[in-house]
Copies of this chain bind each other. A is one copy, B any other.
Amino acid sequence: MEEQTQQEQASPEVHKRIRTSFDRQGLMSHLGARLTHIAPGRVHIVLPSRPEVTQQHGYFHAGATSAIADSAGGYAAFTLFPENTDVLTVEYKINLLAPAVGDHMEAVGTVLKYGRTLTVCQLEVFGVQDGRRKLVANGQQTLIQVIKPEQ
């Protein structure tokens, strides 16, 4: 499925919907995170290394790692949701497998099971140094589809 989703691109409407929502997330721009891939059921978010996202040893903070993982999973689910809906994170669990080091981190959210009410995503975060990727965190997330209030 990896190959397929890497090539398959989401529709322009979905792209726009997700970029619009992402741009409204004050936290993502404050951290310096960028959306780098939007496919049906899969979204990538990249976070470059900078002192503002570190923990006490200079590695990426687990909170920063989790923030981009949570957003990647949420938007991966959102690519599959109908027009008038929105996505909320119900819960997630994440294991920090290795020190989060690299010139940037890449979070990959992938839909494992889509449902009309609940959707479950796999979360992966890679530390990338000079193009070499290493899995530094792995998680699992539950999301809920809610009807968007009229505006």
How close is A105's CB to chain B, nearest CB, in angstroms?
Answer: 13
CB-CB under 8 A from A96, the residues of chain B are 88-91
How close is A63's CB to chain B, nearest CB, in angstroms?
Answer: 2
Contact status B63-A27, CB under 8 Å: yes
Is A66 in the interface zone, CB < 8 Å from B? yes
Q: A30-B52, A30-B53 are in contact. List 18 more A-B contacts (CB 8 A).
A: A24-B55, A25-B55, A26-B53, A26-B55, A27-B53, A27-B63, A27-B64, A31-B63, A62-B67, A63-B67, A63-B70, A64-B67, A93-B94, A93-B140, A95-B142, A98-B113, A113-B138, A117-B144
Is A34 in the interface zone, CB < 8 Å from B? no
Q: CA–CA, A22 to B63, complex, Å? A: 13
Contact status A118-B92, CB under 8 Å: no
Contact status B52-A63, CB under 8 Å: no
Look across to chain B and name the residue whose beta carbon is closest to the beta carbon of A30.
B52
Look across to chain B and name the residue whose beta carbon is closest to the beta carbon of A27.
B61
Q: CA–CA, A138 to B119, complex, Å? A: 12
Contact status A56-B24, CB under 8 Å: yes
Contact status B27-A54, CB under 8 Å: yes
CB-CB under 8 A from A70, the residues of chain B are 62-63, 66
CB-CB under 8 A from A112, the residues of chain B are 97, 135, 138
How close is A17's CB to chain B, nearest CB, in angstroms?
Answer: 11
How close is A21's CB to chain B, nearest CB, in angstroms?
Answer: 5
